Amino acid sequence: MSAFTPASEVLLRHSDDFTESRVLFAGDMQDDLPARFDTAASRAHTQQFHHWQVLSAQMGENAQYGLVAGADIVADSNTLIYYWPKNKPEAQFQLMNILSLMPIGTDVFVVGENRSGVRSAEQMLADICPLTKIDSARRCGLYHGRLEQQPAFDENGWWDEYPHDEMTVKTLPGVFSRDGLDTGSKLLLSTLTPHTKGKVLDVGCGAGVLAITLASHSPKVRLTLSDVSAPAVAASRATLAANGIEGEVIASNVYSEINGRFDMIISNPPFHDGMQTSLDAAHQLIRGAARHLNMGGELRIVANAFLAYPNVLDEVFGSHEVIAQTGRFKVYRAVLTRAGKKR
Q: Which residue in 255, 256, 270 sits closest to 301, CA to CA?
A: 270
CA–CA dist 292, 265 (Å, integer)? 8
Half-sphere exposure of 142 (CA within 13 A, CB side): 19
CA–CA dist 53, 95 (Å, integer)? 22
Residue pair 215/167 in contact (Cβ under 8 Å)? The answer is no
Long-range contacts of 71-76 (CB under 8 A, 24+ apart): 71/101, 73/24, 73/43, 73/44, 73/45, 74/24, 74/43, 74/98, 74/101, 74/102, 75/22, 75/43, 76/22, 76/41
CA–CA dist 277, 203 (Å, integer)? 19
CA–CA dist 343, 124 (Å, integer)? 54
Q: Which letter, b or e, does each residue of 14-31 get, where b requires 16 or more Cβ atoms within 10 Å of its Cβ?
A: eeeebeebebbbbbbbbb
The model carries a pTM of 0.93
DSSP 8-state class, residue 138: T
Beta bridge partners of residue 243, listed in sequence order: none
Secondary structure tally for the chain: helices H, strands E? 11, 18
CA distances from 156 to 67, 97, 323 (A): 12, 12, 41
Per-residue pLDDT, 308: 79
Across the chain, which has 343 residues, the per-10-residue mean pLDDT values are 85 97 97 97 98 97 98 97 96 98 98 96 98 97 98 97 94 85 90 92 95 94 97 98 98 96 93 53 91 96 87 93 94 83 42
Residue pair 218/199 in contact (Cβ under 8 Å)? The answer is no
Q: Which residue in 231, 233, 199, 235 sits closest to 215, CA to CA?
A: 199
Strand 41-46 relative to strand 22-27, pairing: parallel
CA–CA dist 164, 225 (Å, integer)? 18
Strand 167-171 relative to strand 160-164, pairing: antiparallel
Same fold, 6-155 and 159-336: yes
Q: If residue 65 lies in a helix (H) or strand (E), which one and from where to where?
A: strand 63-65
CATH of domain 159-336: 3.40.50.150
For 6-155, the fitting CATH number among 3.40.50.150, 3.40.50.300, 3.30.465.10, 3.40.91.50 is 3.40.50.150
Strand 160-164 relative to strand 140-146, pairing: unpaired
For the chain, give every domain's residue range: 6-155, 159-336
CA–CA dist 342, 331 (Å, integer)? 21
Per-residue pLDDT, 1: 44
Per-residue pLDDT, 340: 42
Per-residue pLDDT, 278: 52
